[in-house]
Amino acid sequence: MRYTAGELAKKLGVSARTVRFYDEKKLLHPCEYSESGYRLYDEDSVVRLQKILMLKYMDFSLEQIANMMQNDSSDLQKSLKEQEELLLDKREHITRLIAAIRKTKDSAEEEFWPNLRHVIELTRDREEVITQYKNDDNLNKRISIHEYSTAEVEWFHWLLEKENISEGMKILDIGCGNGLLWKRLAGLLPDNLEIHMVDYSDGMLASARETVAEILAKYPEKNFSFVIDKRDATDFSYPTAGFDLIMVNHVLFYLEKESRIKLYKQIKSLLAKNGRFTCTLLGEKHMQEIHNLVTDNYPGMKFPFLNFDFFLDNCKNELQNYFRVLDVEEHKNDLMVPDDEMIFNYISSFSEECKAAVTRDREEFMEKIHEQMDYEGYMYIHKSTGVAICAA
């Protein structure tokens, strides 16, 4: 049986314009044309259009739909799993927004709209961070630029010295990301460690599981024990306590103060009697040359760093209200980067908005990068990273 575009549209409850649109996008080709030049479709077209409409309803992009229609069922299963995770995140976003509205609606009239706007902006910023770290692609772009470090001792090895990890310790790593810290240090770690790794991102946790599998296969003699769990640092709880060391690396500055304070209290309750809490942080001038490059060329551009209120420089003022601060130390380290593409990729990882802008203006923006390089072709970038070491 043959259908015109109008008949096919009517059969599936869409407009003829929709059918033509999917033809233009090369998703739904006619099986043939009539003598008068009209598009004609068959039963396979009906099935194909049903699939397109289903996937569009599930919020896949046309590009994603095109890929899924070409690939096998295993790829489709993977795509559906990713979409499920995205929808769950969206559901949680909506739940948080409802909670924010309920929290704000009892404000005095003159405070109501400013309070609500502030809460929504914080929620939106959080969602941007979640999207940014949906998987470890952006994280890897950020890590790769640090290959051009000028430090005498590279970051992970420096951090290991400060953490003072000993055999048999029970450790909680909040915001573990893809587990790169443990992968880099596994061969240097003492034996019999029990390491709990938690993160909010399903993509990060999937990568962390792969990392752990590699570590266990490579170092079976060390008798490591790993636990991987999904937890949200903004509303943190954990079923196990008695940790000798709790680490929160490059996470706290993403949280608003209220959430940080709640997390501190949870951390105190989870530490063993003589346990320690450490957190790695950025200084206020961290990667300043990169941030200036972006804001000078895109004055309205937003990315998370601009909203931080918690830095290595001022952390002691806050932390000492909840812990005994033993030390705050900065890692002596800067970057000399000769790779313009790596700089471009680093900047594009800031946000989807930033990626779209620099990609659109790629040639012009690359020239801006070149202007920042010295006569030897290096761009100097100041780094400011360090660790705060606390006791309960």
Give the pLDDT score at 354.
84
Give the pLDDT score at 139.
44
Taking residues 211-238, what's their average pLDDT? Answer: 94
* pLDDT of residue 380 exceeding 60: yes
CA atoms within 13 A on the CB side of 351: 18
Q: Kindly report the average pLDDT of the chain as a whole number.
A: 84
Which of 28-42, 135-149, 199-213 is the least confident region? 135-149
Residue given tokens 């070149």 in the structure block: 370
> Greater confidence, 154 or 55?
154
> Using an 8 Å Cβ cutoff, are 379 and 268 in contact?
no
Confidence label for 60 from pLDDT (cuts 50, 70 and 90): confident
pTM: 0.64
> Greater confidence, 14 or 224?
224
- When mean pLDDT is compared over 199-213, 216-230, 358-372, the highest value belongs to 216-230
Give the pLDDT score at 133.
45
> Greater confidence, 368 or 136?
368
Strands 324-331, 194-199: pairing is: unpaired
CA 358 vs. chain centroid, Å, equals 19
Give the pLDDT score at 263.
96
Give the pLDDT score at 124.
56
DSSP state letters, 290-315 = HHHHHHHH-TT---GGGG----TTTH
* pLDDT of residue 215 exceeding 50: yes
> Greater confidence, 109 or 198?
198
- Per DSSP, the three-state class of 214 is helix
> Using an 8 Å Cβ cutoff, are 104 and 119 in contact?
yes
Give the pLDDT score at 138.
45
- When mean pLDDT is compared over 98-102, 113-117, 219-223, 304-308, the highest value belongs to 219-223
> Greater confidence, 84 or 168?
168
Which of 97-111, 175-189, 212-226, 239-253 is the least confident region? 97-111
* pLDDT of residue 171 exceeding 90: yes
> Using an 8 Å Cβ cutoff, are 384 and 329 in contact?
no
Which of 45-59, 73-87, 181-195, 231-245 is the least confident region? 73-87
Taking residues 236-263, what's their average pLDDT? Answer: 93
Q: Determine what percent of the chain is predicted with pLDDT higher than 70.
A: 80
Structure tokens at 248: 């929160």
d(CA 337, CA 305): 21
Taking residues 190-211, what's their average pLDDT? Answer: 92
